[in-house]
Chain A
């Protein structure tokens, strides 16, 4: 629970489709109790405190290479700060200094 905000939930709203499914599956592996809500054309993914998207996990689900910069194609809304966005990880957190996870194996 982040003490910096009144309501410590971060999340992204994604355009439904293959990339969205792979991202949601990758996040659910790490955070099985994440909230996934389907609305027309979109998926709303909410988790407590912080969310880390590992490019390698998304690639496993997609079965192809995936450039994290392409996340911008499918994310329509978010809550939290993007505190890291590089080739390995995208981190969404209420802690402005959150530098993400140890590398995934």
Chain B
């Protein structure tokens, strides 16, 4: 049988329209896409991957990854990774492990509820990819725990940071939002915007920095992760194209989703990957701004978005604001991290003279805006934050952008509550879907008022000197009694 015929059997021939149950029982309304297509069965995934090929190719990728890990342990590379890079991994691995797992959950859902058989098969495969990525991140953590003297922790021992520390709430809220969307929005948000425009910053620019600092396992893991993303990107591009080409009523939705996820990705990556490229590593092969220029501006905006403009798609609504933030974003977030360094499990260092020289070269206004801060630190200023930062009600990062002196905080009143946003982009996202984002339990807001340092230490599950205790114990009275919905 030819591959094309096999693929037809795997996708279209396995599809049937339900007759014993109603459409509502088959795909509940909240999981049904608002996009329309004359015939969803006609949509084809450009990769048309067959399960047997998938298994063979992925098995080889895994073999290569584990070969590099083995070599790293056998010949001692892991123990010699530059300590500053390992601190980057403490932060990055915390964000990544859970994010990949969230994405796995999201794609399992798309594989169930997407309207096109080809999207369902591609998403099922993608769910397995995301699961593999999460597991690679866990293996990496294990290697550091075993072979590097840096106090690395397994994910189970630092979950309280991901769940509760302000720095990781941006990541957590991003993925919780992404996996609770319309299934086609999930594809546009994940495959088109996040994976086509932004994950190259994570999985190519960051591994280049890792390799430059001796972390070959990270390099190998992330290059193979990104090789899975090539399949995901192709799906996202094909879905966007098909939606725009086949029914012009889809344009407004696709545009809104591109606008929303562009801003959410920009904020998340600036805050989480910015420091991994600009601050943590001793050897820095590429700045966050340069990587953004290459992958986001040149590839995504001047490539894909401009190609799709023939169907009416416009560049993301808040592109100019994103570009304007690049000059200061990573410096601003590093200052916030430095001020919170006693409640983090990774080391946030004071930039060295070489770091400052590099930062000045890559970011011309660095000295004028951030120079005095680090000179004060060099002169002995403590710069410890005495409270937790005020965070944005959409992205959950501090309202600290573009830079602390000119920080923006925009209010919106909704159903009797006041909400605050760090930017026009986040405010727009809230106003578009306020009922989705209205306030739930949010650690930083709860902690802002009257909590003492002992309570905060207990909350983050760290000892008073900042050592993580592991597990997820919370202080007495933190979780309010909530009724459990009868449907769960």
- Contacting pair B302 A5 (CB below 8 A): yes
At the interface, yes or no: A47 with Cβ under 8 Å from chain B?
Answer: no
Chain B residues with CB below 8 A from A41, complex form: 207-208, 211, 216, 219-220, 223
- Contacting pair A73 B208 (CB below 8 A): no
Chain A residues with CB below 8 A from B299, complex form: 79
Chain B residues with CB below 8 A from A82, complex form: 46-47, 234
At the interface, yes or no: B157 with Cβ under 8 Å from chain A?
Answer: no
- Contacting pair B230 A76 (CB below 8 A): yes
- Contacting pair B208 A72 (CB below 8 A): no
Chain A residues with CB below 8 A from B286, complex form: 39
Counting contact residues on chain B (CB < 8 A from A), the size range is: 35 or more
- The answer to whether A79 and B303 touch (CB under 8 A), given A41-B211, A41-B223, A72-B231, is yes
Partner of A77, one of B53, B226, B237, B306: B226
In terms of DSSP, what is the predominant structure of the interface of chain B?
A: helix
Chain B positions 174-211 with a Cβ under 8 Å from a chain A Cβ: 200, 203-204, 207-209, 211
Chain B positions 276-297 with a Cβ under 8 Å from a chain A Cβ: 285-286, 295
Q: Which residue of B lies closest to A87 (CB)?
A: B3
Chain A residues with CB below 8 A from B208, complex form: 39-42
Chain B window 303-314, contacts with chain A (Cβ cutoff 8 Å), 1 for yes, 0 for no: 100110010000
Measuring CB to CB, which residues of chain A are less than 8 angstroms from any residue of chain B?
Answer: 4-7, 9, 13, 15, 39-42, 69-70, 72-82, 85, 94, 96
- 30 intermolecular pairs with C-beta atoms under 8 Å apart: A4-B306, A5-B302, A6-B301, A6-B302, A7-B302, A9-B303, A13-B204, A15-B223, A39-B285, A40-B207, A40-B208, A40-B212, A41-B216, A42-B204, A42-B223, A69-B53, A70-B57, A70-B60, A72-B227, A73-B60, A73-B64, A74-B227, A75-B227, A75-B230, A76-B226, A76-B229, A79-B303, A80-B303, A81-B237, A94-B303
Kindly list 7 other residue pairs between chains A and B, CB separation below 8 angstroms, not including A42-B204, A75-B230.
Answer: A7-B303, A41-B207, A42-B223, A78-B230, A81-B46, A81-B307, A94-B307
